[in-house]
Amino acid sequence: MRLYSKSVSIEGRALSYLRQMAGAEGRVPGEPPIVSMGSTAPPFVEDPQSVLDHIVSDGAQVTRPSIDPYREPVETSIYLFDGDVRLSMPMGISSLNDLPMELVETVVRTCYRMGVIADLSGLGAEPSSVAGREDYVISGADGVGSTAARNVQVIITGRDDVDPALVRRVVSSGRRPVARVPATDEVELYTALASSGFKAIVIDEDLEADREVELEVAVSLCDKALRSSGTGTKALRYTVNLIATSLRLRGSGDVFKLLGLGAEVVLLKDCWRLGIDLQRESNPRVVAERLEHLLLGMQKELKLLAGAAGASSLHSTVCGNRELFRAVELDDRTLSVLGVKAAGSW
Amino acid sequence: MNLDARIRRIKAFAVSPEAERELRRELSERLGELEPLGAENVDSGTSLRSYVYTLPDDPDEHLVRRTVQDLNREFSRPSFRAHIYSWGRHVDVFKGVGYPSDVYRAYEMERRLKGADLWVSHTRQPTNSPGRLPIWSHPFSSGEWVVVHNGDVSSFGANMSFLESAGFRSFVGTDSEVIAFLLDHLTSSEGLPVEEACRVLVNPFEDEGDDGSFQGMTVRFRGARLDGPFTVVAGHSDGRDVYMAVLADRFKFRPVVVGEDENYVYAASEEAQIRAVSPNARVWTLEPGSFMLASSSRGILIPGRRRVDLFVGPQGSIARPEPVGRVVDASELGYQQINGILRECVRKGIREVSLLNVRGQRYIGVGVEGTLYVRIYGTPGNCLANLNESIDFEVFGSVQDDVGDVMHGGSVVVHGDARDVLGQALQGGTVLVRGNAGNRCGIQMREYSEKRPYLIVGGRVDDYLGEYMAGGVIVVLGLGYEGTDVPVTGRFVGTGIVGGRIYVRGLVPRSHIGYLPPRRDVLQYLRGLHLDGELDSATFSRLSSCEHLDPETLSRHLPPDLLRRVMKLFEHKYFRRLLVEERHLTDQELKELGPVLRLFGMKFSMGREIERVLEDVFTVIRPVEAKPQRPAVSEEG
Amino acid sequence: MEQFPERMGGKEAIIVDRYLNIPRQSSPEFWTVNRIEHIRKLAATGRPAFVWDPCKSGSKRILDRLVFRRELEDPVPSAEGLEESDGIEVESEIAHGRIRMAVPLYLGDMSFGALSGVPNVALARAADSTGVLCGVGEGGVHPEVAKCKRIVIQWASARFGLNLHLLRLGEAVVIKIGQGAKPGIGGHLPGTKVVETISRTRRIPVGTDAISPAPHHDIYSIEDLEQRIWALKEATGKPVFVKVAATNYVAYVAAGVARMGADGIIIDGQGAGTGAAPSVVRDNVGLPIELAVATADAMLRREGMRNGFTVIAAGRVSSAEDMAKLMALGADCVSIGTAALIAMGCVMVHKCHLGFCPAVITNRIEENPKKLLSLEFAQRCVENLIRGWTGELKLILERLGLSKVTELVGRRDLLVGLGLEEPTRRVLVVEALQ
């Protein structure tokens, strides 16, 4: 079912861009990298590595103006859980499970300051810094009871795993159940999760499932499925948040396209670790500084992409707005599951 | 719109008599007995005919809505056969392809003019739809709403998805139709009052006001929020009253003016259009991200400005001195003829021209070189005095958009208001406006060599005053706003400014100067520092109660290391700190600005008042002098 | 060595009049060493090198996976020994017949600021001597460029240096709305780069940042664009073009631009060159030119707006065969930028934004530069490129059985797609190779 392999290594230009933004390379941390002369981007020069590489974003012109995000507002805030939690930008930091606790604490604190989610998935012990920052953390432990985080993760790999009693227990403890599921084309799973009371669905491409599809396809299918359950503002789509994550995501271009397909938050895994060069840098102060710069740089890139498309709000204008995107060199079947038009079609 | 109309009417286009019969059969099967009133238009410029039916039994409104959606879907595939475009009781829609006069004739409108409470009409250039068939023509209607729209919303795809969730399944594919559906859905199915529905659609910025409840609503209704450029004029009836709503997008990318006289409320893209109907109406423009709401029984309910009484320029009192020099009646002339006359005057050495009855002609003076004093009586159209080098214009009335773009010399004196993008890239000469001015005044102004431009606005301005300014002087006097709580500038004053000076009489709220990161982002960071144990409670609570979290406020409260960290949220490679001072004009400034402000006082007969104005406190905004830096990255080409 | 009347450099400047070695390309590149060498060959000889462009082999670009059916029947490896085609007419008229072109080539819109002066002059003079057009880009006009005839003056969002005199200098005016490398993004020349010469052409003080806003703040809609088109026509009496990036709605934009009274549209595709752009925008925004031209041409025809209106295709136009294929897809003329820079010595190191161009083409403008591109060399190379390119175009036309270049416009039937996805071919209206 997949067009491309799951394993993608982040290297070359993509890696350099991340490092420049984080300040691990170059001299302008926190800024979108500037380049010159023609693009070498996939799919027309470099080999495409994912379906996302076939999706292009719009540039507003003539019929609507683009927006300059350096001098004019482009809102990147995302409201989760019926508006209870405000993120400054549609991102979160994941893949913390093998870090020393000292660095996990640093990341949780930095995420809070930057108004993004820290995903503790896979982490055995919960860091003490969750206290006071409960809204901005997704618990590592599976299930209720063992966490201070208000967003309690439940890993679900098939419809049989959906346990309404567990959901009720989480809700009655004043916390929010968050389902973490593999990227699957089993849309009934998504609607079952949403209607059983989960407040958010995290689609994690790195979880194994029987009916695996690409993350971008799963996000799009989930978005569409939630739209068709319930009516208007009561549709599940407007009450349940959709979060996407995968090891292979390379930067804000990927994040922006996933938003367009319906995700509201994208959790960064390998790319943030490579960007701040965690292999060589473990000083918490430097890690915090680089993570802040990386997030600010990526936020600016998201604003550039949104502004270029004439969108001044990510949450209301970009999320699920496939009309802002076109696909190049994809087959009809993939176009139809994504719900994205072919480039050049009317 | 007609409040007294009580019978539901269904109007549809069909490609053939067979298609019409089929549609009629389906309608009566699903909605009950149907009374056909026959074909309506003689010729709407296409092969389609429009048909009208009434529904004597008047079924449930939601059933009609659903049926219309279902039938429109069924009759659009596999190929297009018919389309229902209106089905309300109080709404009557006439659509066609061609010039407005063609449509007017096709529907024999002259016999329909009486008896309506509200008329909405629009002629459009198709932007993202083919526009060959009248199904794509404005207005668009759903239920008791009718909508015309100028713009191209970027949220279109998100809005479509929301409507699909809400059960809408047939779209002709334009954003204008989507706006009609959204208003209908929000008021009829989600139960929002008209003003709340309008507020959702105009989509105020997150930082605007601290109304938490409305914030929650915009999150819940995010699929109905509109982004990108739009001016919407909508008509609605709830059966008790008829409403007119006029919506402006958050950046005010499209022109809109509203007007009022003893009998009517008006809305139009250009002031000249309102003046053609009502020469003495009060006319004003909407603030960005706002809406005007009026009802036929209660008049204007929400003016679309904070203080409309103050914002209306001094049109009523505009002096109209006797025409001087060569006198030309411009009422029947096009812009090329007008400019031809101006060139001829220059050639013949005539120094003064008076153009009477100017009604919206664009490009006046564009490409005319030489010395000439042009008096304009009426409302000149957009692009007055673009590229002007030496002509002097004096307008006894208001001007519209794009006045003085790339002006190098000469002058423009306006006794009324100016609208948006006044003096863009103004680089020489003087522009004086007695009344108010709109969005993006004096953007990209600059100076070079001996040339320094001056732009003086007597009243108030909207957002983005002096954006990207690189030179020259802007003065906003706020005349008439003294002692009120209305700031005389909108937001984002001087954002992106790299040179020049902005003087605003009185005080400007710090949150209106430059472009700051969202207050909530800054607070979040500060709260994080507080939780981290780096920022003490007292300072944190002091800062969180500060109205404006601008760099100056932060630097007063934070120690250097924390300030450096928080400033990451503000700074970027183009970030320039602005120097903001609240003070009297210096002697040097009085020497420079005195003459041009006294000219302003003289032109507008202010007498001694201008001297008192010169003695007032001004907010002076300019970029901090650029430090010599290392060669930076070029971002051009 | 021809003397540069406007002092552009110290007397002691080293004059560069030869090519650098092409560095090894360690990562994938559209402008492969083969493509660069092909252009250098044309620039050196002024003679055709190939009939069918062999550089397309292995490329993933859609245009490279379209071939003329004729090539499959008659694959001529090289132009060597072939007679220059006689009796093939490559002249055309554009802008409703108001501008005559010796060959429908447009040297694309590179500003004085993005390029360092000598290349700007070389391009403009080459346009004059060969009878093509040269768009001068934003930012005022270099005084030597201003003396040339076949230039197109740009009206861009910042209006740098513009006045009535300048606007009336060229053959036409182009309203620059967008560019393919960064649709929707503005420009920024830091104050440190605004030296005396730049200050004079842009009419801003030395040391002031030069910002080009992302949109034109007087053009937020198609009606606004109409207003600016007619204002410029009123001011200049010249034909007006509109330059846009290839984006989602490019077909509707093209039809709108035509309906609003413009004389032509320059569509700049994804992957086009730039002096500086945010990587995230350059790599994720916009459509390839081949799709954009095909869809725009089809929409213009459907709307009855095609006659007399000129479609200029830009972005990665690397050879006469590219030109011929874009014309077959519906372009009347093509724009070349990067190819012309390569002719002048560009070795594609992607360092323009840093100001240290090894080929002294996009280097920082200084009052007393240490190195200077030879104007004579640069101009000759561009002229030769145009001649050699024209020669190749004639050879292609001859093999296609066409006697006039204008007959090629819209001849999609001459093309066939190699392994293209069905939706792509539907937009191109090109059959798959059976």
Residues C175-204: what's their mean pLDDT? 91
Q: Judge whether B636 lies within some domain.
A: no
Q: For residue B9, what is the DSSP state? A: E
Tokens of B489: 């500038």
Asked if pLDDT for residue C2 goes beyond 50, the answer is no
- Rounded CA-CA distance B417/B398 in Å is 5
- Evaluate whether A218 touches A191 at the Cβ level (below 8 Å): no
Instruction: Please state whether the peptide bond connecting residue B78 to the residue before it is cis, i.e. omega within 30 degrees of 0.
Output: yes
What pLDDT shows up at residue B573? 87
What pLDDT shows up at residue C10? 54
- Rounded CA-CA distance A325/A179 in Å is 28
**Which has more confidence, A60 or A231?**
A60
Using a 10 angstrom Cβ sphere, with 0-12 exposed, 13-18 middle and 19 or more buried, the burial of residue B280 is exposed
Check CB contact of C159 with chain A, cutoff 8 Å: no
486-545 in B: which are within 8 Å (CB) of A? 492, 495-496, 515, 518, 520-521, 524-525, 527-529, 531-532
To the nearest whole Å, the CA of C310 is away from the closest chain A CA by: 18
Residue B83's domain comprises 9-305
The C-alpha torsion from A321 through A325 and A329 to A334, rounded to 10°, is: 0
Residues B52 and B161 grouped into a single domain: yes
Residues B550 and B621 grouped into a single domain: no
With a CB cutoff of 8 Å and minimum separation 6, the contacts of B207 are A73, B518, B519, B520
- Rounded CA-CA distance B135/B82 in Å is 9
Q: Is there a contact between A63 and B127 if contact means CB atoms under 8 Å apart?
A: yes
Cβ-Cβ contacts under 8 Å, C218 against chain B: 383, 401-402, 405, 421, 424
Tokens of C264: 């032509």
Tell me the domains of chain C and their CATH numbers. Answer: 14-64+83-410 (3.20.20.70)
C272-311: per-residue pLDDT in tens?
A: 999 999 999 999 999 999 999 999 999 999 989 999 999 9
- Rounded CA-CA distance C400/C412 in Å is 12
Check CB contact of C47 with chain A, cutoff 8 Å: no
What pLDDT shows up at residue B216? 73
Using a 10 angstrom Cβ sphere, with 0-12 exposed, 13-18 middle and 19 or more buried, the burial of residue B54 is middle
Tokens of A265: 């938050």
Q: Is there a contact between B568 and A67 if contact means CB atoms under 8 Å apart?
A: no
Check CB contact of C14 with chain B, cutoff 8 Å: no
- Evaluate whether B470 touches B452 at the Cβ level (below 8 Å): no
Nearest by CB to C204, from B335, B386, B470: name it: B470
Check CB contact of B335 with chain C, cutoff 8 Å: yes
Of B76, B86, B103, B101, which is closest to residue B51 (Cα–Cα)?
B86
- Rounded CA-CA distance B470/B445 in Å is 6
- Evaluate whether B283 touches B398 at the Cβ level (below 8 Å): yes
Indicate the length of chain A as a whole number. 346
- Evaluate whether B385 touches B455 at the Cβ level (below 8 Å): no
- Planar angle of CA A77, A78, A81, nearest 5 degrees: 145
**Which band of pLDDT confidence, cut at 50, 70 and 90, is reported for residue C99?**
very high
Residues C244-269: what's their mean pLDDT? 96
B27-43: per-residue pLDDT in tens?
A: 999 999 888 887 776 55
What pLDDT shows up at residue C194? 87
Tell me the three-class secondary structure of chain A, residue by residue: CCCCCCCCCCCHHHHHHHHHHHCCCCCCCCCCCEECCCCCCCCCCCCCCCHHHHEEECCCCCCCCCCCCCCCCCECCEEECCCCEEECCCEEECCCCCCCHHHHHHHHHHHHHHCCEEECCCCCCCCHHHCCCHHHEECCCCCCCCCCCCEEEEECCCHHHCCHHHHHHHHHCCCEEEEEEECECCHHHHHHHHHCCCCEEEEECCCCCCCECCHHHHHHHHHHHHHCCCCHHHCHHHCCEEEEECCCCCCHHHHHHHHHCCCCEEEECHHHHHHCCCCCCCCHHHHHHHHHHHHHHHHHHHHHHHHHCCCCEHHHHHCCCHHHEEECCCCHHHHHHHCCEECCCC
Report the number of secondary-structure helices (H) and strands (E) in chain C.
Answer: 13, 18
Q: Judge whether B541 lies within some domain.
A: yes
Residues C343-360: what's their mean pLDDT? 94
- Evaluate whether A117 touches A86 at the Cβ level (below 8 Å): no
Q: Is there a contact between A305 and C185 if contact means CB atoms under 8 Å apart?
A: no
Nearest by CB to B367, from C205, C234, C362: name it: C234
Amino acid at A87: L
- Evaluate whether C136 touches C114 at the Cβ level (below 8 Å): no
Q: Judge whether B152 lies within some domain.
A: yes
- Rounded CA-CA distance B380/B412 in Å is 12
Give the phi and the psi of residue B295 in degrees, each rounded to 5: -130, 155
Q: Judge whether B215 lies within some domain.
A: yes
Strand partners, B473: B454, B501
Tokens of B600: 């302003």
To the nearest whole Å, the CA of A45 is away from the closest chain B CA by: 22
Q: Judge whether B221 lies within some domain.
A: yes
Asked if pLDDT for residue A48 goes beyond 70, the answer is yes
Residues B196 and B342 grouped into a single domain: no
- Rounded CA-CA distance B359/B333 in Å is 10
**Which band of pLDDT confidence, cut at 50, 70 and 90, is reported for residue A154?**
very high
SS3 assignment, position C292: helix
What pLDDT shows up at residue B126? 67
Asked if pLDDT for residue A209 goes beyond 90, the answer is no
Nearest by CB to A56, from C286, C354, C422: name it: C286
Amino acid at B274: I
CATH number (3.20.20.70, 3.40.50.10210, 2.40.400.10, 3.30.70.360) of A12-34+76-298 reads: 3.20.20.70
Check CB contact of B164 with chain A, cutoff 8 Å: yes
What pLDDT shows up at residue C1? 33
What pLDDT shows up at residue B576? 86
B205-217: per-residue pLDDT in tens?
A: 988 765 566 677 7
Of C389, C415, C375, C395, which is closest to residue C103 (Cα–Cα)?
C389
Residues C167-180: what's their mean pLDDT? 97
Q: What are the angstrom distances between the C-alpha of A72 and each of A228, A297, B209, B440?
A: 35, 17, 18, 12
Q: What is the DSSP pairing of strand C264-268 with strand C240-245?
A: parallel
- The domain that contains B127 carries what CATH number? 3.60.20.10
- Rounded CA-CA distance B463/B461 in Å is 7
Q: For residue B135, what is the DSSP state? A: G
Portion of chain A with pLDDT greater than 90, in percent: 87
Residues B253 and B196 grouped into a single domain: yes
**Residue bearing tokens 């890690």:** A287
How many angstroms from the chain centroid is the CA of residue B418? 13
With a CB cutoff of 8 Å and minimum separation 6, the contacts of B221 are A233, B186, B190, B200
Residues B199 and B280 grouped into a single domain: yes
C-beta atoms surrounding C398 within 10 Å = 18
Span between the terminal Cα atoms of chain B, in Å = 52
SS3 assignment, position C297: helix
- Evaluate whether B229 touches B153 at the Cβ level (below 8 Å): yes
With a CB cutoff of 8 Å and minimum separation 6, the contacts of C90 are C102, C103, C104, C390, C393, C394, C397, C404, C405
**Per residue in A47-67, is it b (16+ CB within 10 Å) or e — as a string?**
ebbbbbbbbbbbbbbbbbbbb
Cβ-Cβ contacts under 8 Å, A82 against chain B: 216, 219-220
Check CB contact of A216 with chain C, cutoff 8 Å: no
What pLDDT shows up at residue C421? 97
Query: Which of C61, C248, C322 would you mutate first to test chain A, the one with the most A CBs within 10 A?
Result: C248
What pLDDT shows up at residue A107? 98
What pLDDT shows up at residue B132? 77
Residues B425 and B456 grouped into a single domain: yes
Q: Is there a contact between B387 and C164 if contact means CB atoms under 8 Å apart?
A: yes
Q: Which residue of B has its CA nearest to A239?
A: B220
Chains that touch C (3 or more CB pairs under 8 A): A, B
Amino acid at B80: F
Query: Which of A17, A19, A28, A35 would you mutate first to test chain C, the one with the most C CBs within 10 A?
Result: A35
Q: Is there a contact between C276 and A34 if contact means CB atoms under 8 Å apart?
A: yes
With a CB cutoff of 8 Å and minimum separation 6, the contacts of A285 are none
List of chain B residues with pLDDT < 50:
628-632
C-beta atoms surrounding C106 within 10 Å = 28
Residues B129 and B90 grouped into a single domain: yes
Cβ-Cβ contacts under 8 Å, B406 against chain C: 159, 162-163
Tell me the pLDDT of chain C averaged across its residues: 94
Residues B185 and B206 grouped into a single domain: yes
Asked if pLDDT for residue A36 goes beyond 50, the answer is yes
Cβ-Cβ contacts under 8 Å, C243 against chain B: none
B44-80: per-residue pLDDT in tens?
A: 567 788 999 998 888 899 999 999 999 999 999 899 9
C392-421: per-residue pLDDT in tens?
A: 999 999 999 999 999 999 999 999 999 999
Q: Judge whether B222 lies within some domain.
A: yes
Nearest by CB to A320, from B151, B158, B189: name it: B158
Establish, for the pair of chains A and C, how many residue pairs have beta carbons separated by less than 8 Å: 232
Check CB contact of B136 with chain A, cutoff 8 Å: no
The beta strands (E) that lie in B249-380 are given as 257-260, 265-268, 282-285, 291-295, 299-302, 326-329, 352-359, 372-379
Domain count, chain B: 4
Nearest by CB to A305, from C27, C270, C285: name it: C285
Which of B369, B394, B412 is the last residue before a domain boundary? B412
- Rounded CA-CA distance C199/B449 in Å is 10
The number of CA neighbours under 13 Å toward the Cβ of C76 is: 19
Tokens of B297: 């029984």
With a CB cutoff of 8 Å and minimum separation 6, the contacts of A290 are A22, A23, A24, A29, A275, A276, A277, A281
Asked if pLDDT for residue A146 goes beyond 90, the answer is no
What pLDDT shows up at residue B627? 53
To the nearest whole Å, the CA of C120 is away from the closest chain B CA by: 13
Q: Is there a contact between B220 and A238 if contact means CB atoms under 8 Å apart?
A: yes
What pLDDT shows up at residue B630? 46
